[in-house]
Structure 1
Amino acid sequence: MTGSFKEEFKALVEGKTNIIVLFILPLLLVLILGIELSGEVLTEMPIAVADHDGSAFSMDLIRQFDSDETFSVEYRTDSDEDLEKLIRNSKARAGIIIPEGFYDDMAGLESPSIAMIYDGSNMSVTSVAKAKATEILLTYKAGITSKQLMGRLGMSYDDSVETAQGFIFRSKALYNPGKSFEDFLTPMLVAGIIQIAVALCAAASIRHEMLDVDKKKRFGHVSGKVLFYTFCGTFMYILCTALMATAAGIPFKGSLADAVLMSFGLSFAVSAFCVLISAVIKNKMVALVGAGLMIIPNSMMAGTTWPLMSMPTGYQAFAHYIPFIHFVDNYRNIFLKGATLGDMTNDLAYMFGFGAVSLIIAEFVVIVMETGKEDTVDEDISGSVQKRVSVNI
């Protein structure tokens, strides 16, 4: 095992590809995400307005949107078609259409409609714009209803406000109150790229031609590879966790020791599984493709950007066998919720169990199957020699 570990370390030092994949790319990703998502929340979103009413009320409503930090009224048009064209060309991300006679209809209690149009091609933009626009419109609606009650029924201001509101609704977002995309996405994307890096390097780690030559190298050969890449993966998780918590400023409310243990569990499971792939598939290119097909999709689909609960039932059942599923939410929760080891015991046990089973099978493949192949070769050589002797006689 020690020899295999040293062999992999030597290959890492002498080669350049694995250093880039294992160490450089994850660090670059932390840097890139730290810069790209540094804005944290969407602000000054360009919107277009088609105000067919032109009343003091409609103009005041537009000012409410423009004064909010989420929106910036960049375009005004008299045509609904031109407004939709602005959104189609991505110049505006949302639009407000106020119909003609809107204020008069509202004063006559006819319940007119305001049309909000969103750029649905970007779901993040749509979600933020819709939530904020709804908040502004509901607040404005309550104010107008209050004024109508005061004017028509002679209610006091306080009574009219209570009647217009019906009930008071308050919401509070825990653990990510600022709705920061940086805090939400960065740990997940970094975790996924480190997993992919470990998987691809481990999937090309078994050198079958060396096993054919030296039988002694088979014993502990797999364990050395798995241990090496487990340490590499864990080291990168620790380093990137520290960088995200300091340089990127992502809140880290949990224990570093818990993060290390979870990282070790995932690195062990992924390393063992991909070394198994390398042991079974001798062609390195095929092994890399196989590992990529198994690891890369679940790095993106394991609840990193879209919740697992919203995925098809069949995939949800299958996903629970994937080690990354047992890691990704816990890793994010360590950052944002301060999750403790007691919350993650079952997931940690699964990752170690998955890695142990993969390691045992890989050792069996390398020791037993390679030995069986060698015996077959010896028998062929022996038969060939006997045949030559018989011919000579």
Structure 2
Amino acid sequence: MTVPPPAPLAPPVGVRPRALRTDARKIPRLVLAAWLALFVNVLAPGGNPTVIPIPRPLFQAVAQGSLVLALAFALLANRRLVVRPNLFMTLLTALALSSLAISLHNQFVVGSVYRGVRLLAFVACLWLLTPWWGRRDLVLLRAHRVAMWAILALVLVGTAIAPGKAFAFEGRLSGTIWPVPPTQVAHYAAVLFGTSAILWMCRVITGRHALVAVAASTIALIGTHTRTALLGAAIGVALASASLFLGHARVRRVSVSTVVGIIVATAAFAPQIVSWLSRGQTVEDAAQLTGRTKVWSDVFATPRPTMDALFGSGLSNKSFDGLAIDSNWVASYLDQGWFGVVLQAAMLLLLLAMAATHVRGPRRAVALFLVVYGVISSITETGIGDASPYILDLVVAASLLSSRPTQPSR
């Protein structure tokens, strides 16, 4: 009689499943190249000084040209042009198409149409990467983290080389090799911090990896003095941890320790914390979100034709009367009208609904963190209505919440 082979042993408790190990060397090279090129495309250069005085238009040319490279790499990775139909990308495509159509009637038609074509090409590139959605090896999340590691490393290296230039913008940390403004540095640091903490609590990455990532991102986040990013990271990690609380003993231990640590730190360093949060502003300035609410009020107080109110006036540089809007929802109302606002809200609500119904685990927790962070940051940052790092965050979240596809051959 033939004796059946013994059943494979389950991995010991605490051992990371092989399919979830975040080894960057195993990311498909063309997919990683396409994702990095997309990141460069949305890495909008700020006006802060750099170590090498390169003209800002040259940085802009490199950033815009990288979208062509991203499309080329995505086409090479997905030569059969296979895409995975999904509602999130359908909503994003509808937003891009409507934005381009409205931009044809903008007062500054050339710049507006260019932004519309860029957004459509950006979305097309994301469609080409949908075959890698839902994979157990978390390809897009790992590529996302590699990009954030690279940007944060450039910022920290630039700080070591020229600390005076790094903190030249109102004493807030910015990039000096590539001119990354403080708010963007805070965004990348917050997302790297949150995803590293969650993956470590789920035993997907090692403690050493998590320690380095959390330490580097915390230093950068504090150095930027960006309150929205700090709040978004804290609430996002808290909600993601709550989704894991019942199934992971490490999450329970870390949550209790964090609460105790926050209470002790607040009691011991209250003056320093208040000083950091205030950034030298008065109570009135803080209540007006550093003057942002005045611009928002002016946008909504300006009379507009009914069609402009419904569908916007076309993609712009997210400013009003020469002042930055600094709110995704106000800028979207101006550029894409209530139609664009509704589409973006639907995208976020869809992802939250998918997270609520997804099986408990690291995929759901990381996706929940990314969506919650995007919702909070959208109050004082623009991006969900245009090609931006926030769209890449949401695409990663959607890919984590997607069902598992047939594994591509590459």
TM-score bin (small chain): under 0.3
Under a length normalisation based on structure 1, what TM-score does the superposition of the two structures give?
Answer: 0.24
Higher CA-based Rg: 1
Under a length normalisation based on structure 2, what TM-score does the superposition of the two structures give?
Answer: 0.23
| Bigger strand fraction | 1
